[in-house]
A and B are shown apart, each in its own frame.
Chain A
Amino acid sequence: VQLVESGGGVVQPGRSLRLSCVSSGFTFSSFGMHWVRQAPGKGLEWVAFIWYDGSKKNYADSVKGRFTVSRDNSKNTLYLQMNSLRAEDTAVYYCARDPPGAQGARHSYNFDYWGQGILVTVSS
């Protein structure tokens, strides 16, 4: 299993950025996927979750209405479109796989594999 993020960098407040996470080593279309972020020197913050087929999405209140998670199962790729960026969005962003849950549950809201992370810096 490998997850590789890209698309990070320095962006001005109010601008947009799109992160990508390319997966390999597993059947991407069978797993829900998450974005989790970590501000410099801080703890982990869950950002967004998308079902295996893209039919349902959930967001943290801190990004709701500004960020959009999506996926292209034909390309084994997860995306995070980030609009109206703020200084407080500065963080390392990780994509992570959601393993199946107990008793046949499709999702578990857990993270069993993570990408290496990509830094997003929002600064003028």
Chain B
Amino acid sequence: DIQMTQSPSSLSASVGDRVTITCRASQSISSSLNWFQQKPGKAPKLLIYAASSLQSGVPSRFSGSGSGTDFTLTINSLQPEDFATYYCQQSFSIPITFGQGTRLEIK
């Protein structure tokens, strides 16, 4: 199975900040990496697919990059609604696996 490791596990930031979350795969997954945002009590929401493609309707302050084993999610100019938990997920092979999540909190 492909292991996905996110860092950091939690992060404190202020409105207007730029933040970066990292995801590392235990083996190469090409660009088969997706990012989700989840708020308490809600279903996850797809933000970025194929490592760097922005899902329709997602604000452009979200961006993704990387390929192979190392990926990043960047949020520019944090907004109050961005404080949530973020998950990476590999879509390269079955079983599909997720990172453990990064909790983004208000400083």
Interface size class of A (residues with CB under 8 A): 20 to 34
Contact call A112/B55, Cβ cutoff below 8 A = yes
* Given the contacts A43-B87, A43-B101, A44-B87, A109 and B96 also touching, CB distance less than 8 Å: yes
Contact call B49/A115, Cβ cutoff below 8 A = no
| List of A residues within 8 angstroms of B38 by Cβ | 44
Q: How far is the CB of B51 from chain A (nearest CB, A)?
A: 11
Contacting residues of chain A (38-95) with chain B, CB-CB under 8 angstroms? 43-46, 49, 58, 60-61, 94
Tell me how many residues of B have a C-beta within 8 Å of chain A. 25
Greatest chain B CB density within 10 A among A94, A111, A112, A114 is at A111
Complex partner residue of B91 from A45, A58, A109, CB under 8 angstroms: A109
Q: B71 at interface (Cβ–Cβ under 8 A)?
A: no
A58 to B55 alpha-carbon distance, docked (Å):
26
Q: B74 at interface (Cβ–Cβ under 8 A)?
A: no
Residue of B with least CB distance to A111: B46
Q: How far is the CB of A44 from chain B (nearest CB, A)?
A: 5
Q: Which residues of B contact A (CB under 8 A)?
A: 32, 34, 36, 38, 42-46, 49-50, 55, 87, 89, 91-101
10 contacts between A and B (CB under 8 A): A43-B100, A44-B89, A44-B98, A45-B98, A61-B95, A108-B91, A109-B92, A110-B49, A112-B49, A114-B43
